[in-house]
Amino acid sequence: MGRVRVIVALSLLSACKDPTRVERAEALGPDTGPYEEGPNHRAGFPCTWCHSAGSTAESHFDIAGTVFARASTRQALPDVRVRLFDQDGDEVSVRTNVAGNFFLREGELAPVDFPIWIQLEYQGEVTAMQTPIFRERSCAGCHRTPPSPQSPGHIYVWEAE
């Protein structure tokens, strides 16, 4: 009987929502993009604000973001190889989908540890982020559009046409 209580308690705990996380996710407003809910939706939004334990989405991500073609456009760039690596040389990589989105589900970032460096590879072009990521797991948490003193702007492969 004790084991059943533990299982029930654990399932209730895992279903708990964090009001602060839920409020932050709901503040993003409705999805105005062309895709239904799924891996292609909300390009350029801070993915883990919804996709983290205690928030609104069922699936949880270790890290996620969107890659655009250029700094000046919101044209998604599919099939970009996103390499994530740490100071010990441990690495994982993932490719962007049709909406330019990429994500590593909970547990898929291992064995990479923070701080993390990012490199984008697309058709022979290589673009590297100049600073490491120390804790933010949503790329759009820092890379917001438009660029400002608080943000370098969205993630892109090419500066200009």
Please name the residues in contact with 100: beta carbons below 8 A apart, sequence gap of 6 or more: 43, 66, 67, 68, 76, 77, 78, 80
Q: What is the pLDDT of residues 83-136, one digit of tens each?
A: 999 999 999 999 999 999 999 999 999 999 999 999 999 999 999 999 999 999
pTM attached to this predicted model: 0.84
Q: How far is residue 27's CA from residue 15's CA, in Å, rounded to a whole number?
A: 21
Q: What is the pLDDT of residues 36-63, one digit of tens each?
A: 888 989 898 999 999 999 999 899 999 9
Write the DSSP string, 125-143.
EEEE-SS-BSS--BHHHHS
CA end-to-end distance (rounded Å), the chain: 66
- Predicted pLDDT of residue 11: 46
